[in-house]
Amino acid sequence: MAGVGKKKDHPLSMRLPETDIAIIDRAAGLRGRSRTDFVREAAVQAAEEVLMESALVRMSPKGFVAFMAAIAAPATAVPEMVDLFKRKAPWEAGGKNG
């Protein structure tokens, strides 16, 4: 069957100021990507974020009760996080961790 599984690309054309193109090209170069790949990825990521902001989360009544209990429960320390936050950053005095 001809055409089965073939990807169809759709063109998208934009007019951008030279300064925008320069910023995009610089960022794309730092990522080792082409301008097209960089812009496509950024646009898709932005679109996904917008869609996630408006997505409904559905759960059963039992699941909702469990969710509410989890977020209402007192916070508990994560030992690994406590240790991490006690360490000095490499750029802090002395440049030593711990």
pTM here is 0.54
Question: How many domains are there within the chain?
Answer: 1
On whether residue 66 sits in a domain, the answer given is yes
On whether residue 25 sits in a domain, the answer given is yes
On whether residue 76 sits in a domain, the answer given is yes
Tell me the residue range of the domain where 56 lies.
Answer: 18-95
d(CA 98, CA 85): 10
On whether residue 4 sits in a domain, the answer given is no
What percent of the chain shows pLDDT beyond 70?
A: 88
d(CA 35, CA 93): 41
pLDDT reading at 43 higher than 50: yes
What is the residue type of 7?
K
Length of the chain: 98
Distances from the Cα of 95 to the Cαs of 82, 86, 87, in angstroms?
20, 14, 11
On whether residue 10 sits in a domain, the answer given is no
On whether residue 33 sits in a domain, the answer given is yes
d(CA 94, CA 54): 47
Mean pLDDT over 27-35 rounds to 97
**Considering the chain, what is the average pLDDT of its residues?**
89
On whether residue 61 sits in a domain, the answer given is yes
How much is the pLDDT for 2?
53
On whether residue 67 sits in a domain, the answer given is yes
d(CA 53, CA 24): 26
How much is the pLDDT for 8?
83
